[in-house]
Structure 1
Amino acid sequence: MRIRTATAAALVTALAFTAGCSSSDDNKAEAKPKPTPPISKTTRFLNAVHEADFASWADKGPTDEELLDYPAQWCDALAAGHSVDYMFSGGGGDLYPIGMDWGTKEADAHELLLLGVTAYCPKYREQVAQELRDGGGY
Structure 2
Amino acid sequence: MRRTVAVCLLACLALAGCSNSGSSADAKPSPRKTVSKEAAFLKAVHTANLRSWTDKGPTDDELLEYPQQWCDGLAAGHSVKWLFTMFGDGGGLYPIGEHWGTYKADANAVLVMGVRAYCPENLADVKEQLRASGDY
User: Which structure's residues are more often helix, by fraction?
Assistant: 1
Out of 81, 86, 89, the residue aligned to residue 77 of structure 2 is 81
- Matches of 1:53 and 1:76, distance apart in 2: 26
Instruction: Tell me the C-alpha RMSD between the 2 structures.
Output: 1.6
Q: Which runs of 5+ in 2 are unaligned?
A: 1-16, 18-27
Partner of 2:126: 128
Larger Rg: 1
- Matches of 1:34 and 1:74, distance apart in 2: 34
Partner of 1:95: 93
126-135 or 84-93, which deviates more? 84-93
Q: Offset at 1:90?
A: 1.2
Partner of 2:53: 57
Describe how 1:14-33 pairs up with structure 2 within 5 A. Answer: none
AA of the residue aligned to 1:74: W
Partner of 2:104: 106
Partner of 1:68: 64
Q: Which runs of 5+ in 1 are unaligned?
A: 1-18, 20-31
Q: Offset at 1:36?
A: 2.7
- Matches of 1:49 and 1:127, distance apart in 2: 21
- Matches of 2:29 and 2:121, distance apart in 1: 31
- Matches of 1:33 and 1:126, distance apart in 2: 31
Deviations 1:76-125 (A, max 9, x none): 00000000101100121000000000000000000000000000000000
Q: Offset at 1:37?
A: 2.1
Deviations 1:39-94 (A, max 9, x none): 11011000000000100100100000000000000000000000010110012100
Alignment length (residue pairs): 109
